Amino acid sequence: MSRGGDGEGGENGKRGEGRENRRDGEAGIGDAGRLRSAVASPRGSAPGNGFLGDVWTNFKRWNLKAVRNPFVLVVSLLNPVIFLVLFTEVFGQVATGAIGGGGVDYVSFLMPAIVIQVALVAAATSGIGLVQDIEDGMFEKVLVSPMSRVGVFAGKTLSEVLRISVQATLILGLGTLLGARIATGLPGAIAIVGIAIVFSVWFTAFSNVVAIKTRNSEATIIAANVLQLPLLFVSSAFLPVEILPGWIRAISGVNPITYGVDAARALVLDGWAWETILPSLAVLLALDLAFASIAVYYLDRASSATVD
């Protein structure tokens, strides 16, 4: 009896150990599955970091990259400065007559356009920076991290916003030194920087989408440059739309640069002309939302492909 009891106890003990081992194994599989799910999730946030932490991490990283590569900062500012100085000095007298005079000098007319150009150039270089990340392998590490894809895009975009704010302020200061006058004063100057920021988001998103799709620096640079100059010259940036050929007026009517320039220029020349400012901002915000959604979508797709 005793031996039988011992045998039954031994069997029961083994069965109990087996059940515990199976439970431990299932728990291990569950933990590993949850870990893989957390890492692979394109929409989650890093554990303990949160969405704002993800935004801050990417914002800080891209600003550090910009500081370590001052050549890009200088070049992206130099081109608009050259446009402002040369256009006002070379074409100033002729252009002042073309815009109708009336006490409006060409420096004041051109300065808002150059601020928008600063935003355009900075937004274009955003995609080039992303391509460098792709070529260095850093982009793949970001994709397999549990960081929110919206946070990744927002942090990168905010780093561009900071750069655009500084550069736009410098252009406004330079324009003032050259003789420009802002009808709305300092509040208007701050609002012009805000308009430049709103304008920049859609093109930042576009350049990042091109970078993700092509994963090639030359293709990204070409795509940005092919759009930049034509869009500038078929807009209200350098001359009033009314004196331009009909086909340019038609294109200018759907050109995002025209909306950015018109809103900023109204603050310089006309005061708080809300009938011009608000519709222009509405169009730009709609473009921002559309292109930002597309950029996040492609980040999600890139994440899924990397995880698979």
Beta carbons of 63 and 161 less than 8 angstroms apart:
no
pLDDT range class, residue 100, cuts 50, 70, 90:
low
Task: Write down the residue that tokens 């005079």 correspond to.
Answer: 101
- Name the nearest CA neighbour of 304 among 66, 110, 143: 143
Lowest mean pLDDT among 84-88, 119-123, 238-242: 84-88
Task: Write down the residue that tokens 């982009």 correspond to.
Answer: 139
pLDDT for res 106: 87
What percentage of residues in the chain have a pLDDT greater than 90? 44
pLDDT range class, residue 305, cuts 50, 70, 90:
low
Q: What is the pLDDT of residues 14-67, one digit of tens each?
A: 444 554 444 444 443 343 333 333 333 434 444 457 889 999 999 999 998 888
Residue extents of the structural domains in the chain: 1-40, 45-307
Long-range contacts of 27-33 (CB under 8 A, 24+ apart): none
- Rounded Cα–Cα distance for residues 70 and 200 (Å): 20
Q: What is the pLDDT of residues 135-186, one digit of tens each?
A: 888 888 887 888 888 898 999 999 999 989 999 999 999 999 988 999 999 9
Structure tokens at 125: 């270089």
Tell me the H-state helices in the chain.
2-40, 50-68, 70-90, 92-98, 106-136, 138-143, 149-177, 185-214, 217-233, 246-252, 256-269, 274-307
pTM > 0.85: no
Structure tokens at 74: 């200088």
Q: What separation in angstroms does the CA of 3 have from each of 8, 11, 13, 15?
A: 9, 12, 15, 18
